[in-house]
Amino acid sequence: MEREEESTVQAWSNDSYRYPRGSSTRRYLISALIGIIILYVMFFVRLPYFIFMPGTAEEIKPMVSIVKTTGTEKGTLMLTTVRVADANVVNYLVGLVHPYEEIEPKTSVLKKGESEQEYSQRQEYVMLTSQASAIQAAYTEAKVPFHIEPEGVMVLQTVPGLAGEKVLKPGDVLLKAGDKEVKVAQDLLDAIAGKKAGDTITIAYTRNKVDMQATLTLGALPLQEGETVQRAGIGVVPAGMQSVKADQADQQVTIKAGDIGGPSAGLMFSLEIFNQLVPEDITKGYRIAGTGTIDTDGTVGPIGGIEHKIIAADREKAEIFFAPKNITYKDGTKIENYSDAVKRAEQIKTKMKIVEIGTMEDALKYLAALPPK
């Protein structure tokens, strides 16, 4: 009897030893799988939000080249950027508590029907137009004769369901429609005028500097406000491109800003271009950052995210920051870039001086009055 009990205990012990080992392995595998899923959801599942945060303050001089420059630059002119990130669970939670980050729904940033790729392309396009405006403003201020040359039409967006969506991509530059050269957006409309849905047209275009060609079937475009008859089209939102040419080749400006997008560097580009065109150094040895759109007449316009740009400029030890002046529109809407910049500067306790700017001339007058450093 004793031997039988001992044998029973022995058998039970062996069974109990083997069973938990397999169970533990399964538990570890399940736990690891759950952990991987949680990590994937937290870091790789994109939420319908953008997170805005301080970007960079970058020296402009390496981005701007002129065949014949007239002086040296002892100081530094810097553009400022806002970093935009897709939200995941982790950075969304961080953004909720971070004092210098903002969370915005993508629907409030993207235009109706606009994809993120099309948004990025729009930012690239407005950067290019901002550069052209900055060159014109600087040429005008420095009294450099110039002229404008059209350079084709860029595709900003495609219309779902039409031929353009299947063949063309945002960023493509249209060169010909049928036998007609496309230099401005109206040329594309003129080439299609008189055609109807179902007709075809051959489009020549470039993509990443590679020449391409395709035959597209025209479709019925969505009715616009005030229209009663549908027009035929290829289904793209076109935007004219142009270059600003100095009458004298040695005064020609070239800008290469890399992957920076948006229009807000216009003011700072115009100041850098002007500084390379005139004999005196307008920086006088100071580190000068800033932001603001620029019109061809030198008017400085408001921008978004100035609070983030103040932080970026302070990190790069800027001593002066040019901020667009506060604006109140006729409908009562206010954009207070200058006030917001001052508020953020006080929050981070920077020694950087915030200067309110309404025109390029305002900036030049302020710099002219500065003592050399």
134: exposed, middle or buried (Cβ count in 10 Å: 0-12, 13-18, 19+): buried
309 has catalytic annotation: yes
Q: For the residues of 280-341, what is the DSSP string, one character each?
A: S-TTTT-EEEE--EE-TTSBEE--S-HHHHHHHHHHTT-SEEEEEPPEE-TTS-EE-HHHHH
Residues forming beta bridges with residue 240, ordered by sequence position = 153
Helical (H) or strand (E) element with 343: helix 337-347
Q: Which of 309, 339, 349, 351 is catalytic?
A: 309
Instruction: Evaluate the CA torsion angle 257, 273, 268, 153 in order and state its sign.
Output: negative
256 an active-site residue? no
CA nearest to 165, candidates 204, 209, 217, 206: 217
CA distance 157 to 165: 9
* Residue 288 contacts residue 327 (beta carbons within 8 Å): no
Beta strands in the chain (DSSP E): 49-59, 64-66, 76-86, 102-105, 146-158, 173-177, 180-181, 200-207, 210-217, 219-220, 232-233, 236-246, 253-255, 287-290, 293-294, 300-301, 320-324, 327-328, 334-335, 353-357
Q: Which of 130, 264, 270, 325 is catalytic?
A: 264
Q: Which two tokens stand for residue 203?
A: 């489009």
Active site residues: 264, 309
